[in-house]
């Protein structure tokens, strides 16, 4: 094993001297990303890259990873990556790996396709080198084929290291499900892993136990960073035991890597630097502009311009001088921020506002005095207080009125209930449409495979409407040509809603997303950037489409 890695303080010092950044990488077996979302958010706040194992999300749910942090991106795989399960029939989650990174380094990160569902790779391009970051989840013991899966995953890592070792620095982080510091426990799995480490001279550290039993006892160290470095420096692994929001039975582990990505905040790579405003030349202080130029022009005039390089440097200096003079001599107007409009309005508020403005005009004409004894100053303050008082009184009355309306609303008075709860009303047909959709969602709808199994009617599993494909939920709602005339106008309505803000075309969506929109739009609401009103409209159209297709299908099946 290589020499002991440097401490993170020393690594940060050398990185600062060289003008490059230190990447903070976390590896964490989170045991369900949804239930551990607060811990993931806390970890992402102070680190750059998060390697996740066991996020328990299937392929159709990976968009949930966007909720981790405000400005992040990700590459991930679910346990069903190569045989996706439809969103309507998802079992309890298991497995899954992901790499999540901050948007600050997004331009340097590229997801890679290497490895199967237990391995996720990304490439980070540095100044003079490339870094391969791998998140891996090796199978635990006890499964029927756990040893074979373990050896197969190690073979995949072997191929990846062989492919990239000559061109990339390599960091492999994850739950290895073997304690490399426990020499007493030896088995076929552990020996195979140790052979991989020895063959490629991978570095790793044993710094403390990372797995906790159900009784709260720390028992073994399963989470590691394996690194193969040519020029890269990696700080010693750190076990994070102080993440209060962590609900997993694993501790997160962190390592810091010095890589040649230009330091954040430099002008060459700072995408978020302030945009210089346009100079308004008619409002420039000409005397100040001339004084700034006269103060620097003599220095530029003395500069030599014998070669092309000297001429370029001279032009650059002149440009900087003129830019500085224009910026400093122009007026800097602060950006106007409009206040929110009032949500209450009465004649009393109107007259108070009118009086307040009148007193403000008098105060302005008197030179805006600040002496409390001045009458115009007192009038301005008093009328302003009166205006605010009237607004607050009316807002309180409005809240009381709404509360009273809710208390007095009768259970069967639908008109009042919908107004008070601000629910958009649709037709009575919706109460017939909902049960059909619920049956499709729960898998109890009588599609042709189930009908044939129970009643022995029709062409076994083939759709009776088109006689071409097996009748599944996807076929019924999206594919079947027999229902195109019913489907087309409703899909047009849904597409109009999608394109109104998010500019998404229905035909550009894959079948899984289309089904998700029709079955449960809330699952992809964030992905499609939809607000609650748009979701409500699409949900109404989806229920309408499902009911129309169901009605037409029933008529067809009842024909002799």
**Stretch among 205-214, 246-255, 335-344, 544-553 having the lowest mean pLDDT:** 335-344
pLDDT in tens, 494-507: 888 888 766 778 88
Q: What is the pLDDT of residue 8?
A: 58
412: pLDDT strictly greater than 60: no
Q: What is the pLDDT of residue 29?
A: 94
Instruction: List residues bridging with 130 in a β-sheet.
Output: 125
CATH topology of domain 8-82+89-262: Deoxyribonuclease I; Chain A (3.60.10)
554 band by pLDDT with thresholds 50, 70 and 90:
confident
User: Is the alpha carbon torsion for 456, 441, 528, 338 positive or negative?
Assistant: positive
Q: Which residues neighbour 533 within 8 Å (Cβ) at sequence distance 6 or greater?
A: 424
Residue found under tokens 């000409």: 286
Q: What is the pLDDT of residue 310?
A: 76
Cβ of 273: how many Cβ atoms within 10 Å? 10
pLDDT in tens, 192-210: 999 999 999 999 998 889 9
Residues 313, 319, 324: CA angle, nearest 5 degrees: 130
pLDDT in tens, 3-61: 455 555 666 666 666 666 788 999 999 999 988 888 898 899 889 999 999 999 998 88
% the chain with pLDDT above 90: 29
Mean pLDDT of 432-458: 75
Q: What is the pLDDT of residue 126?
A: 78
266 band by pLDDT with thresholds 50, 70 and 90:
very low
Mean pLDDT of 456-461: 70
Q: Which residues neighbour 138 within 8 Å (Cβ) at sequence distance 6 or greater?
A: 118, 150, 153, 154, 174, 175, 176, 177, 178, 193
Q: What is the pLDDT of residue 162?
A: 94
Q: Which residues neighbour 464 within 8 Å (Cβ) at sequence distance 6 or greater?
A: 448, 458, 471, 556, 557
Instruction: List residues bridging with 135 in a β-sheet.
Output: 120, 173
d(CA 309, CA 184): 68
Residue in 67, 72, 62 with CA at minimum distance from that of residue 93: 62
117: pLDDT strictly greater than 90: yes
Q: What is the pLDDT of residue 173?
A: 95
Joined tokens for residue 256 = 């810091």
Q: What is the pLDDT of residue 190?
A: 92
Which helix (H) or strand (E) segment holds residue 232: the answer is none
Cβ of 164: how many Cβ atoms within 10 Å? 20
- Tell how far CA 44 is from the center of its chain: 11
Q: What is the pLDDT of residue 1?
A: 45
pLDDT in tens, 299-347: 777 777 777 777 778 888 888 888 888 888 876 666 555 566 777 888 8
Residue predicted with more confidence, 246 or 297: 246
């Amino acid at each position: 094993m290589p020499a002991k890695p440097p401490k993170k303080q020393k690594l940060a010092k050398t990185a600062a001297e060289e003008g490059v950044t230190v990447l903070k990488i976390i590896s964490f077996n989170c045991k369900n990303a949804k239930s551990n979302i607060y811990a993931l958010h806390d970890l992402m706040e102070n680190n750059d890259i998060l390697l996740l194992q066991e996020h328990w999300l299937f392929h159709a749910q990976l968009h949930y990873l966007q909720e981790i942090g405000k400005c992040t991106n990700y590459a991930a795989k679910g346990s069903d990556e190569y045989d996706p399960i439809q969103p309507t029939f998802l079992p309890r989650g298991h497995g899954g790996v992901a790499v999540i990174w901050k948007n600050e380094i997004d331009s340097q990160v590229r997801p890679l396709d290497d490895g199967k569902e237990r391995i996720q790779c990304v490439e980070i391009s540095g100044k003079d080198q490339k870094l391969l970051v791998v998140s891996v989840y090796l199978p635990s013991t006890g499964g029927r084929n756990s040893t074979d899966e373990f050896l197969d995953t190690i073979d995949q890592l072997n191929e990846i290291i062989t492919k990239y070792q000559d061109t990339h620095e390599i960091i492999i982080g994850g739950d290895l499900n073997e304690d490399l510091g426990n020499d007493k426990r030896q088995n076929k799995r552990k020996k195979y892993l140790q052979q991989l480490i020895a063959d490629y001279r991978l570095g790793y550290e044993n710094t403390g136990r990372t797995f906790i039993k159900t009784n709260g006892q720390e028992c073994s160290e399963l989470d590691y960073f394996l690194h193969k470095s040519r020029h890269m420096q990696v700080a010693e692994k750190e076990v994070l035991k102080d993440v209060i929001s962590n609900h997993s039975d694993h501790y997160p582990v962190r390592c810091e890597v010095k890589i040649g990505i230009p330091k954040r905040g430099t002008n060459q790579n700072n995408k978020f630097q302030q945009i210089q405003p346009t100079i308004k030349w008619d409002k420039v202080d000409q005397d100040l502009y001339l004084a700034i130029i006269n103060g620097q022009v003599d220095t530029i005039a003395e500069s030599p311009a014998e070669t092309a390089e000297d001429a370029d440097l001279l032009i650059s200096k002149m440009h900087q001088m003129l830019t500085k003079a224009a910026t400093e001599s122009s007026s800097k107007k602060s950006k106007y921020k409009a206040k929110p409009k009032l949500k209450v309005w009465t004649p009393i508020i109107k007259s108070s506002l009118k009086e307040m403005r009148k007193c403000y005009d008098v105060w302005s004409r008197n030179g805006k005095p600040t002496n409390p004894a001045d009458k115009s100053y007192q009038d301005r303050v008093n009328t302003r207080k009166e205006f605010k008082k009237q607004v607050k009184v009316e807002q309180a009355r409005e809240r009381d009125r709404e509360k009273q309306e809710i208390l007095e609303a009768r259970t069967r008075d639908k008109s009042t209930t919908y107004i008070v709860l601000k629910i958009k009303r649709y037709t009575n047909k919706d109460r017939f449409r909902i049960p059909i959709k619920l049956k499709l969602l729960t898998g109890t709808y009588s599609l042709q495979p189930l009908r044939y199994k129970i009643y022995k009617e029709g062409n076994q599993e083939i759709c009776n409407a088109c006689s071409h494909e097996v009748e599944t939920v996807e076929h019924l709602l999206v594919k079947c040509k027999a229902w195109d005339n019913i489907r087309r106008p409703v899909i047009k309505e849904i597409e109009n809603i999608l394109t109104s803000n998010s500019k998404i075309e229905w035909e550009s969506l894959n079948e899984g997303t289309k089904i998700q929109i029709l079955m449960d739009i809330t699952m992809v609401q964030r992905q499609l950037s939809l607000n609650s009103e748009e979701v409500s409209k699409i949900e109404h159209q989806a229920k309408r489409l499902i009911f129309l297709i169901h009605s037409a299908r029933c008529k067809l099946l009842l024909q002799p």
